[in-house]
Amino acid sequence: MMWSIYRFLPAICVLASVIVQPASANLIRYDISSTGVVNCGGGTAPHGLWTGGLNLGGGCGNYFDIQAPSYLDITEDTGTPANTTGHLFGTAINPNGYTATFDIFLTNFLETSTQYKQEGGPSYDPGTDTPDIDFFTSATGQVDIENALLSYNQTFNFSSFAGGYLFQYGTSGSGANAKDGAQGASAWVNVSGAGVNGHWDFNLNSNRVPEPPTLSLLALGLIGIGVTARRRRTAETGSSTVDSCAQRDVAVVGKGGHNLQLSTQRRNIVIQSR
């Protein structure tokens, strides 16, 4: 009987890789885009990043439209929520051809706060956390802005939040975008760099991106068990080849760039998550 158990080891390895993942870590990714409210150029200059007094190229040059792909990643720590972190990254372009590349790390998580910026968003009750809006009190990172045709390239560093507000973001459809009340995020930030005059702000709409790699791993493990069972039925009597998990390549092709493949001696099984 032992040799038949060993034949299931590849599939068992995959299932084990699902089970041993840290239960407290939960990565949530949001696609982000500019707010639906357009404050400049008669509706021709949408923006998710506003650079205050730094008007590059004139006109609506301080309004930057978020480009795809740009993301807000939230790494939830369900065991210790205060350790939850965020990562805001992507690009934005102003009407004059300047491109901003932003890379910002968010820490010091709060599930509720009185430092909520409402503006055009919904009323918020910090006592009951209604609607469900979360906050970060600290940010580090930078924005690089360039225009190759004009030989312009400057780096601007984030130091803190401005206006008595924090970085706020909504979950499960909550309208944390202070401009239009859509699900998303908003923040006023203090920035240092050449030409900076006043705070900058982000006003973002967001959509949660499905993240199925764990389910793909589980499905792959179950399929692997089925395949090895089929092989067992057709194998020559008396075969007792024993393979360890270390002798197998285990992976999944998953959403978000995860490239994993389970290789057996006779079959390659690939699950492509969609």
Retrieve residue 112's tokens. Answer: 């509720």
Cα torsion through 222, 79, 123, 107, rounded to 10: -110
Segment 155-168 mean pLDDT: 96
Annotate 32-45 with b (16+ C-beta within 10 A) or e (fewer): bbbbebbebeeeeb
Segment 192-203 mean pLDDT: 95
Q: Given this model, what pLDDT does residue 172 score?
A: 74
Model confidence over 50-105: pLDDT tens digits?
A: 999 999 999 999 999 999 999 999 999 999 999 999 999 999 999 999 999 999 99
Asked which of 185-189, 220-224, 251-255 is least confident by mean pLDDT, the reply is 251-255
With cut-offs at 50, 70 and 90, classify the pLDDT of residue 188.
very high
Q: Given this model, what pLDDT does residue 231 score?
A: 58
Retrieve residue 138's tokens. Answer: 């600290």
Q: Given this model, what pLDDT does residue 44 score?
A: 83
Contacts of 149 (CB under 8 A, 6+ apart): 97
In contact, 157 and 145? CB cutoff 8 Å: no
In contact, 75 and 86? CB cutoff 8 Å: yes
Amino acid found at 5: I
Asked which of 2-11, 98-107, 135-144 is least confident by mean pLDDT, the reply is 2-11
Question: Where is pLDDT greater, at 144 or 42?
Answer: 144
With cut-offs at 50, 70 and 90, classify the pLDDT of residue 265.
very low
Question: Where is pLDDT greater, at 254 or 208?
Answer: 208
Residue 19 CB neighbour total at 10 angstroms:
10
| pLDDT beyond 70 at 192 | yes
Q: Given this model, what pLDDT does residue 41 score?
A: 84
Q: Given this model, what pLDDT does residue 130 score?
A: 93
d(CA 104, CA 141): 4
- Tell whether pTM > 0.85: no
Model confidence over 108-121: pLDDT tens digits?
A: 999 999 999 999 99
Mean pLDDT of the chain, nearest integer: 81
